[in-house]
A and B are shown apart, each in its own frame.
Chain A
Amino acid sequence: MRFARIAALALAATLPVAAQTLRVGLGEDPDVLDPSMARTFVGRIVFASLCDKLVDLDENMKIVPMLATSWEWSADGKALTMKLRPNVLFHDGEKLDAAAVKYSIERHKTIAGSNRKGELAPVTSVDVIDPLTVRFNLSGPFAPLIAVLTDRAGMIVSPKAAQALGEKFNTKPVCAGPFKFVERVAQDRIVVERFPQYWNKGAIHFDKVVYLPIVDATVRLANLKSGQLDFIERMAPSDVPAMKGDRRFRITQAVELGYQGITINISGNEHSQKNPLGKDARVREAFELSLDRDAIVQVAQDGEGLVGNQWVSPKNPWYAKSLPPPKRDVARAKALLKEAGVTNPSFTLMAGTTSDAQRVAQVVQAMAKDAGFDVKIQATEFATALKLADQGQFEAFVLAWSGRPDPDTNLYQFIFCKQPQNNAGYCNPQVDALLTQERVTNDAAARAKLFEQIAAQVHKDRPIIYLFHRHWISAYTAKLSGLKPVPDALVRLQDLKFN
Chain B
Amino acid sequence: MAAITVPLAAAPREDSPTRRALRRLARRRGAVVGLFLVAFFVLLALFAPWIAPYDPVATSWSLVRKAPSAQHWFGTDEIGRDVLARVIWGARASLLAGVVSVCISLAIGVPIGLAAGYLGRWIDMVISRFTDAMLACPFLILAIALAAFLGPSLTNAMIAIGIAATPAFIRLTRAQVLAVKVEDYVEAARAVGNSHLRIVLRHILPNVVPPLIVQATLAIAAAVIAEASLSFLGLGQQPPAPSWGSMLNTAKNYVENAPWMAVWPGLSIFLLVLSFNLLGDGLRDALDPRHS
Q: Residues on A close to B: CB < 8 A? A: 216-218, 236, 238-239, 241-242, 295, 298-299, 353-355, 358-359, 362-363, 365-366, 377, 379-381, 384
Complex-state Cα separation, A359 to B252, whole angstroms: 15
**Residues of chain A with a CB closer than 8 A to B153's CB:** 379
Q: Does the CB pair B61–A384 fall under 8 Å? A: no
Chain B residue nearest to A358 (CB atoms) is B239
Q: Which residues of B contact A (CB under 8 A)?
A: 59, 61, 64, 78-80, 148, 151-153, 234-235, 238-240, 249-250, 252-257
Q: Given A238-B253, A238-B257, A299-B64: A362 and B152 within 8 A (CB)? A: no
Which residues of A sit under 8 angstroms from B80, Cβ to Cβ? 299
Residues in chain B near residue A381, CB distance under 8 A: 148, 151-152, 234
Q: How far is the CB of B15 from chain A (nearest CB, A)?
A: 53
Contact B59 A362 (CB under 8 A): yes
Interface of A is mostly: helix
**15 A-B pairs (CB sep. < 8 Å):** A238-B257, A239-B256, A239-B257, A242-B257, A299-B79, A299-B80, A353-B152, A353-B235, A353-B238, A354-B234, A355-B253, A359-B79, A377-B238, A379-B238, A381-B152
A26 to chain B, nearest CB (A): 18
* 4 closest Cβ pairs, A-B complex: A353-B234, A379-B238, A366-B59, A358-B239
Say whether B250 contacts A355, CB under 8 Å: yes
User: Which residues on A sit within 8 Å (CB–CB) of B240?
Assistant: 362, 365, 377
Determine if A362 and B79 form an interchain contact, defined as CB atoms under 8 angstroms apart: yes
Minimum C-beta distance from B261 to chain A (A): 11
Minimum CB distance partner of B238 in chain A: A379
Bound together, the chains give a CA A355 to CA B256 distance in angstroms of: 18
- The residues of A that contact B235 with a CB separation of less than 8 Å are 353
Beyond known contacts A355-B253, A362-B59: 5 more, CB 8 A cutoff: A238-B78, A239-B257, A379-B238, A381-B148, A381-B152
CA of A242 to CA of B253, assembled, Å: 13
A359 contact from B78, B234, B254, B255, Cβ within 8 A: B78
Q: Would A217 and B253 be within 8 Å (CB), given that A362-B79, A362-B240, A377-B238 are in contact?
A: yes
Q: Which residue of A lies closest to B153 (CB)?
A: A379
- Taken together as a complex, chains A and B put the C-alpha atoms of A377 and B250 apart, in Å, by 17
Least CB distance from B257 to A in Å reads 6
Residues in B neighbouring A353, C-beta threshold 8 A:
152, 234-235, 238
Quick one: closest A residue to B255, CB to CB?
Answer: A218
Chain B hits for A298, CB < 8 A: 61
Residues of A within 8 A of B59 (CB): 299, 362-363, 366
Q: Of all chain B residues, which has the CB nearest A383?
A: B148
Q: Which residues of A contact B79 (CB under 8 A)?
A: 299, 359, 362-363, 366
Nearest-CB residue, chain A, relative to B249:
A355
Chain A nearest Cβ from B202, distance in angstroms = 48
Q: Are B152 and A299 in contact (CB under 8 A)?
A: no
Measured between alpha carbons, how far is A355 from B232 in the docked complex, in Å?
Answer: 11
Tell me whether A218 and B253 are in contact (CB under 8 A): yes
Residue with the highest number of chain A CB atoms closer than 10 Å, among B152, B239, B249, B250: B239
Tell me whether B234 and A218 are in contact (CB under 8 A): no
Q: Which residue of B lies closest to A217 (CB)?
A: B253
Main secondary structure of the interface of B (DSSP, over half): loop
Q: Which residue of A lies closest to B232 (CB)?
A: A216
Asked if B61 and A299 make an inter-chain contact with CB atoms under 8 angstroms apart, the answer reads yes
Candidates B78, B151, B249, B257; contact of A384 at CB < 8 Å: B151
User: Measured between C-beta atoms, what is the minimum distance from A388 to chain B in Å?
Assistant: 11
Bound: A210/B151 CA distance, A? 37
In the assembled complex, which residues on chain B have CB atoms less than 8 Å from the CB atom of A295?
61
Closest A residue, CB atoms, query B250 = A355
Which B residues lie within 8 Å of A365 (CB)? 240
Whole-angstrom CA separation of A366 from B58 in the bound complex? 8
Find chain B residues with CB under 8 A from A359 CB: 78-79
Chain B residues with Cβ below 8 Å from A238 are 78, 253-254, 257
Q: State the Cβ distance, B83 to closest chain A Cβ, in Å.
A: 16
Measured between beta carbons, the chain A residues less than 8 angstroms from B250 are: 355
Report yes or no: B252 in contact with A218, Cβ–Cβ below 8 A.
yes
Which residues of chain A come closer than 8 Å to B257, judged between CB atoms? 238-239, 241-242
Contacts of B148 in A (CB 8 A): 381
Q: In the complex the two chains form, what is the Cα distance from A252 to B169 in whole Å?
A: 55
Q: How far is the CB of B187 from chain A (nearest CB, A)?
A: 54
By a CB distance below 8 angstroms, the chain A residues around B254 are 238
Cα(A322)–Cα(B260), bound, Å: 45
By beta carbon, the residue of chain A nearest B79 is A299
Residue of B nearest to A366 (CB): B59
Please measure, in the bound complex, the distance between the C-alpha atom of A45 and the C-alpha atom of B59, giving whole angstroms.
37
Chain B residue at smallest Cβ distance from A378: B238
Q: How far is the CA of A298 from the CA of B78 in the complex (A)?
A: 11
- The closest CB in chain A to the CB of B239 belongs to A358
Task: Give the distance in Å from the alpha carbon of A379 to the alpha carbon of B235 in the complex.
Answer: 9
B-chain residues with CB within 8 Å of residue A362 when the two chains form the complex: 59, 79, 239-240
Which B residue's beta carbon lies closest to that of A369? B59
CB distance from A238 to the nearest CB of B (A): 6
Contact B152 A242 (CB under 8 A): no
How far does the Cβ of B55 sit from chain A's closest Cβ, in whole Å?
A: 11
Shortest CB-to-CB span from A305 to chain B, Å, is 15
Distance in Å from the Cβ of A239 to the closest Cβ of chain B?
A: 8
A242 with B61: CB separation less than 8 A: no
- Bound complex: CA A239 to CA B252 (Å): 12
> A216 contacts which chain B residues (CB < 8 A)?
252
Please give the distance in Å from A5's CB to the nearest CB on chain B: 50
**Distance, CA A298 to CA B59, complexed state (A):** 13
Q: How far is the CA of A418 from the CA of B153 in the complex (A)?
A: 33
A362→B255 CA distance, assembly (Å)? 21
Give the docked Cα–Cα distance between A380 and B151 (Å).
7
In the complex, A299→B61 CA distance in Å?
Answer: 7
- A377 near B239 (CB under 8 angstroms)? yes
Chain A residues near B256 (CB-CB < 8 A):
239, 242
Min CB distance, A82 to chain B, in Å? Answer: 45
* Minimal beta-carbon separation of A261 from chain B (angstroms): 20
Q: Which residues of chain A are near B255, meaning CB under 8 Å?
A: 218
Using Cβ atoms and an 8 Å threshold, which residues of chain A touch B78? Answer: 238, 299, 359
Residues of B within 8 A of A239 (CB): 256-257
Q: Which residues of A contact B252 (CB under 8 A)?
A: 216, 218
* B253 and A379 within 8 A (CB): no
CA distance A340 to B151 in the complex (A): 35
Q: Which listed residue, B61, B64, B239, B249, touches A379 by the CB 8 Å rule? A: B239
Question: Which residue on B lies nearest to A384, using beta carbons?
Answer: B151
A236 B253 Cβ-Cβ under 8 A: yes
Distance in angstroms from B148 CB to nearest chain A CB is: 7
Task: Give Cα distance in the complex from A384 to B254, angstroms.
Answer: 29
For A366, the chain B residues whose CB sits under 8 A away are 59, 79
A60 to B105, CA, bound (A): 60
In the complex, what residues of A have CB within 8 A of residue B151's CB?
380-381, 384
In the complex, what residue of chain A is closest to B80 when comparing beta carbons?
A299
